[in-house]
A and B are shown apart, each in its own frame.
Chain A
Amino acid sequence: MINYLPILALFVLAIAFAFGTILLSHLIGPKNSYKEKLSPYECGMPPVGNTRERFPIKFYIIAMLFIIFDIEGVFMIPWAVVFKRLGMFGFIEMAVFIAILLIGLAYVWKKGALEWE
C-alpha cells in the first residue's frame, strides 16, 4: 500500500496550504467592516426577502439520475478492464445492462424530466 503514501502526503499538504493561506490572508488583510459591507450583495440595494426559498424539483431529479448513472459507471469501469478477457459474452452482458438503463433514460426523457424552460 506504499503507493498510496504520496497521496496521503499530498492530501495533508493540500489541507495545510488551503487553510494556511486563508488564515494568513485573514490576519494580513485590513479590517474595516460595517453593517452594509457585511450584508449580502444585491446590486447595491438593501437585500429584499430571504434566501430560504424552495428550489425547483428539477435539481433533485438531476441529482437522482446522476447517482444512477454514476453507479452504472462504477460497474462499467471494472468491466472495461477485463473486457478483452471476457470476450463476446462479456460484451453482450454489458450491452444488456446498458440497454436496460437506456430504457430508463428514454422514459425520463419522454416524461419531460430533462426539459428546462
Chain B
Amino acid sequence: MTEFIIIMLVKMFVIFGAVMLTMTYITLAERKILGYMQIRPGPNRVGPWGLLQPIADGIKLFLKEDIIPDKASKVVFVIAPAMALIPAVMTLAVIPFGPAVTIMGRQVDVYMADVNIGILYIFAVSSIGVYGIVLAGWSSESKYSLLGGLRSSAQMISYELSMGFALVGVIMMSQSLSMVKIIEAQKGVWFIVPQFFGFIIYITAAIAELNRTPFDLPEGESELVAGYFTEYSSMKYAMFMLGEYINIISVSGIVTTLYLGGWSGPILPPLAWFMIKLLAVVFFMIWVRATYPRFRYDQLMTFGWKVLLPASIANILLTPVFMKIFGYL
C-alpha cells in the first residue's frame, strides 16, 4: 500500500511537471510557428531563439499587480480562475502516455489511472470547464466580461454536445470506455480510418470548446477587449492561459488515444510515439489558428447546432455501416 502511494505520488508529480514544462514551451512554439507562417521571426530576444521567453513571461506575470476591481464579487472573482485551471489538470489523470515500463525493477505504467469509465470521465470533467468562464464573466461586473462570459459559455456547451456524440462512435468500435482498452482495440487499424467523420467532428468541436481561432469570439479583441478575463491581471489571468494550454495538451492526448492509435508505432519506444502524435496534433491546432479567420457569432452558433450536431448524430447512426465495411461487425 505504501509503495503504491509513493509510486502514485511520484508519477503524479512527474506527469504534472512534464505537462507544465511542455505547456510553457507550447506557448513559445505557437508564437514561433505563427511568426514563421507570417514570415516574421517571433520572439527571439530572450535567450537563443527566444528559448527563455516562456520563463520570462512567467516571471513577469508573477510580479504584476494583482488587481481585484472594486465592484467585483470578490470571492467568486478569485475562485473563477482556479475553476478554469482545475478541470484542465484533472483530465491529465486518465491520459495514457505509455504502457508499463520497468523502472528500478518495478513495472510502472506511464499514466496515472486507467479507470473503467475513462472517456466518460473526460467528458464529465471537461463539462466542468464552463464554470471558470461563466463565473469570471459574472463576478467581474464589467460589460465586456459579462458578454464575453455568456457568449463563451453558450459556445462551449453547444460544441460539447458534438464532442460527446463524436465519442460515441469510438466507443461503439472499442466496446469499452477505458483509454488503455481503446488503444488496444486499435492494434489493427487506427480509428481515424473507420471513424474519419467522427475525427473531423471531434477535432472541430474540440477547437471550439477550447475557444481557439477560428472560434475565439469570446476573446475577439476588436469587439470584446479580452472577453471574460478582461478584468483579470497577474497570475489570475495566467490561470486562464494555463488552463487553455493544458487543455490543448489534454485534447491532443485524447485525439491521439482515440483516433491515432495512442502509443502504438514501430521501432521507437511507445512513449516517444505518443509524444510525437500529441505534438503533431498541437501543431495542427496552431496551423489552424494561423490559417483561418474568425467566425461571426451567429455563424458560430448556427454551425454548432445546425451542422456539427446533426452531423455527429448521423455519424453515430452510420458507424455500424463503417464497422461492417472495416470488418468489425
What residues make up the interface of A, taking CB atoms closer than 8 Å to B? 2-7, 9-11, 13-15, 17-19, 21-22, 24-26, 28-33, 35, 37-43, 47, 51, 55, 58-59, 62-63, 65-66, 69-70, 73, 76-77, 80-84, 91, 95, 98, 102, 105, 109, 114-117
Cα(A4)–Cα(B310), bound, Å = 35
Interface of A is mostly: helix
With a cutoff of 8 Å between Cβ atoms, the chain A residues found around residue B184 in the complex are none
Q: Does B112 contact A (CB under 8 A)?
A: yes
Contact B168 A77 (CB under 8 A): yes
- The answer to whether the Cβ of B92 comes within 8 Å of any Cβ in the partner chain is yes
**CB of B325 within 8 A of chain A?**
no
B313 touches A116 (CB 8 A): no
Check if B161 sits within 8 Å of A18, measured CB to CB. no
Do B171 and A29 touch (CB < 8 A)?
no
For the complex formed, measure the closest distance between the CB of A11 and the CB atoms of chain B, giving whole angstroms: 6
In the bound complex, CA of A51 to CA of B230 (Å)? 14
Q: Tell which of A7, A77, A105 touches B120, judged by Cβ atoms closer than 8 Å.
A: A77
| Residues of B contacting A9 in the complex (Cβ-Cβ under 8 angstroms) | 8-9, 12
Q: Pick the residue among A11, A25, A33, A95 that contacts B86 (CB under 8 A).
A: A11
Give every chain A residue within 8 A of B8 (Cβ-Cβ). Answer: 5-6, 9
A116: chain B residues at CB < 8 Å are 297-298, 301-302
Query: Using Cβ atoms and an 8 Å threshold, which residues of chain B touch A66?
Result: 157-158, 160-161
Q: Complex formed: what's the CA distance from A58 to B153 in Å?
A: 13
Chain A residue numbers with a CB within 8 Å of B141 are: 40, 51
The answer on a CB contact under 8 Å between B63 and A62 is: no
Chain A residues with CB under 8 A of B326: none
B213 at the interface (CB under 8 A from A): no
CA distance A29 to B173 in the complex (A): 52
* Contact in complex: B81, A18 (CB < 8 Å): yes
In the assembled complex, B11 has its CB within 8 A of some CB on chain A: yes
CB of B79 to closest CB in A, whole Å: 9
Closest to B69 in A: A38
B115 / chain A contacts, CB cutoff of 8 Å: 3-4, 7
Instruction: List which B82-140 residues lie within 8 A (CB) of chain A.
Output: 82, 85-86, 89-90, 92-94, 112-116, 119-121, 123, 127, 140
Q: Which chain B positions have C-beta within 8 A of A58?
A: 154
Smallest Cβ-Cβ distance to B111: which chain A residue: A6
Question: How many pairs of residues, A versus B, come closer than 8 Å at their CB atoms?
Answer: 197
CA distance A24 to B234 in the complex (A): 11
Residues of B within 8 A of A117 (CB): 298
Residues of A within 8 A of B143 (CB): 40, 42, 47, 51
Q: Judge whether B65 and A14 touch: CB under 8 Å.
A: no
What are 6 sample pairs from A and B whose C-beta atoms fall under 8 A apart? A17-B16, A19-B82, A29-B234, A51-B141, A58-B154, A98-B317
Q: Which residue of B lies closest to A19 (CB)?
A: B82
Tell me, yes or no, whether B164 is within 8 Å of chain A by CB. Answer: yes
- Closest A residue by C-beta to B298: A116
Cβ of A13: which chain B residues have Cβ within 8 Å of it? 12-13, 16, 89
CB distance from A88 to the nearest CB of B (A): 9
Partner of B67, one of A38, A43, A76: A38
**B113 A62 Cβ-Cβ under 8 A:** no
When distances are taken between beta carbons in the complex, the residues of chain B under 8 Å from A22 are 66, 78, 81-82, 235-236, 239
Instruction: Looking at the assembled complex, report how far the CB atom of A29 sits from the nearest CB atom of chain B, in whole angstroms.
Output: 5
With an 8 A cutoff between CB atoms, is B45 at the interface? no
Chain B residue at smallest Cβ distance from A5: B8
Across the interface, do B317 and A14 meet the contact criterion of CB distance under 8 Å? Answer: no
Q: A4-B115, A22-B78, A114-B305 are in contact. Are A29 and B168 (CB under 8 A)?
A: no
A32 to B: closest C-beta gap in Å: 6
Contacts A42-B143, A59-B150, A84-B329; is A105 near B67 (CB within 8 Å)? no
- A59 adjacent to B175 (CB under 8 Å): no
How distant is the Cα of A66 from the Cα of B172 in the complex, in angstroms?
A: 23
